[in-house]
Structure 1
């Protein structure tokens, strides 16, 4: 789809027309509609997007399912727990990237509300089984391990700890960091969060930026100084610090005086602005 066509579609689409476009004979319109519905957080689109997870028309030459992938991502943004059964089924799709999008969507839904968290618990066993690989030192990934590990950490799936722990030794740093984040979510032990803090010194800037996001999302207050001093763009550091602040502020909202650690977070943010 050209830029002009995208702009025209963006102007023309409404929630109703976008939902209808998911059944369009034009596969590019279906894909764009699914993306738009997720971006615009159109809650009425959940059922139509669930149907799109079964699409067999939009196929790549290698057998992938682009519409299923974007539909799963959109459902994650909508955060509706009614999508959990369909996303759980998508974890068995032959398309690696559909499985990845489904795991990420499950994590996003679990994070959206206590009700959604409880609904997503049903995915724990399937996600854990996807980790049952004898090859954890290969650069060729059989499963979207990063997304699976982070979903299990979000779900507090303590029963998966034995399956998660070996990935702390994975050959790929980003898988090791995902395992550390998961283990912190499962155990609350600072030793795993400190593995992420150490990752802020990685020579790969992309990995440093990914670790910043991880530390922000787990709300690890002791990492604040290391985050502020990380060698990367200020925008990434600000995003991580804001995530930490947002996670801890609800606990302090009835206290007129912020705790010293939260004051320090705000001072670092001021320095970076």
Structure 2
């Protein structure tokens, strides 16, 4: 459909027409911004028209950015179509605007694009659906777990995690163990945090030995969310307790945090030892974890750490000592 200025009676929009049709792309781009500032629905047609037809990628991208506030089916469809634009600048702007949508009803417009031939389009569609938390996206996301493109699988995993699709736990555990892409495995480890059952703990413990530290880090974090008191014993040795000796401090930090969250008493000695680590972030997390344990046997080590050179560590030590004091009967 061709936009027709002659059908308008808005003098502010008509005054912008010469600049909107100027031969200079920069002039047209600034005019689009001025048009959007009017916040008049009559200007919406020109924005969508320029998104699809302006010869300059910079103008098309600006139109995509300006359309983020309009949650109308015609606009969302135009943004989805812009995902196929050959210029990355335009595709990225359209994808960003779609990811900012809040009206779940727009999910029905986006959903068909999850099966588009272009992997970039499929990725962006799933990302937008994730933010909408549209339950209608669950079936498409389950199918996309076998997508040949890692980026699509990663976005589909995120959708299932946000939607808390527990029927996908088995498949997500399989991806965590076997997917060739690091980021897919990492996303799967995070998505398993929707579980409230011990069934995913073996897969997460196994992931603590993944070749990629990013996956091990995510698995350590998720274990702190899903493992309850009854599962804590399974986390010793090759589990979270073993992860305290990981070669990457980022993994050790997350394992420390999770052991504290689980109040895993068997970690007391290892956490006290971590209070001496050269990395201050680890010392801080160890202090906080000892506070969560509430064991008075940690008081001596914590009191010694009150002289730590890092103020954040000293603050964590004060918090931990207060927690232990509150936990010990007077």
- Give the corresponding residue for 2:172: 49
Note the C-alpha offset of 1:47.
1.1
Note the C-alpha offset of 1:82.
0.9
The secondary structure found in structure 2 opposite 1:162 is helix
- 2:199 and 2:187 map into 1 onto residues whose CA distance is 17
TM-score by length of 2: 0.50
Within-5 A mapping of 1:1-273: 2=92, 3=95, 5=121, 8-9=125-126, 10-11=128-129, 14-58=137-181, 65-110=182-227, 116-126=228-238, 127-132=240-245, 141=248, 144-189=251-296, 202=311
How many residues align structurally?
197
- 1:24 and 1:70 map into 2 onto residues whose CA distance is 15
Instruction: Give ranges in structure 1 of 5+ residues lacking alignment.
Output: 59-64, 111-115, 134-139, 224-273
- 1:24 and 1:77 map into 2 onto residues whose CA distance is 22
TM-score by length of 1: 0.60
Give the alignment's Cα RMSD to 1 decimal: 3.7
Note the C-alpha offset of 1:132.
4.1
- 1:157 and 1:177 map into 2 onto residues whose CA distance is 17
Contact preservation (8 Å) 1:161, 1:183: yes
- 2:272 and 2:214 map into 1 onto residues whose CA distance is 24
- Give the corresponding residue for 1:254: none
- Displacement over 6 Å in runs of 4+: 192-199
TM-aligned CA distance change 1:7 to 1:94, over 3 Å: closer
Contact preservation (8 Å) 1:150, 1:178: yes
- Give the corresponding residue for 1:267: none
List per-residue Cα deviations over 1:11-45 (Å, max 9, x = no partner): 48621221111111121110001111112222222
Note the C-alpha offset of 1:125.
2.4
Contact preservation (8 Å) 2:204, 2:219: yes
Instruction: Give ranges in structure 2 of 5+ residues lacking alignment.
Output: 1-90, 99-120
- 2:124 and 2:179 map into 1 onto residues whose CA distance is 27
- Give the corresponding residue for 2:54: none
Note the C-alpha offset of 1:188.
4.1
TM-aligned CA distance change 1:221 to 1:121, over 3 Å: closer
Contact preservation (8 Å) 1:167, 1:175: yes
Range with greater deviation from structure 2 (29-38 or 184-193): 184-193
Note the C-alpha offset of 1:195.
10
The secondary structure found in structure 1 opposite 2:180 is coil
Note the C-alpha offset of 1:75.
0.5
Contact preservation (8 Å) 2:294, 2:323: no
TM-aligned CA distance change 1:25 to 1:141, over 3 Å: closer
- 1:220 and 1:203 map into 2 onto residues whose CA distance is 17
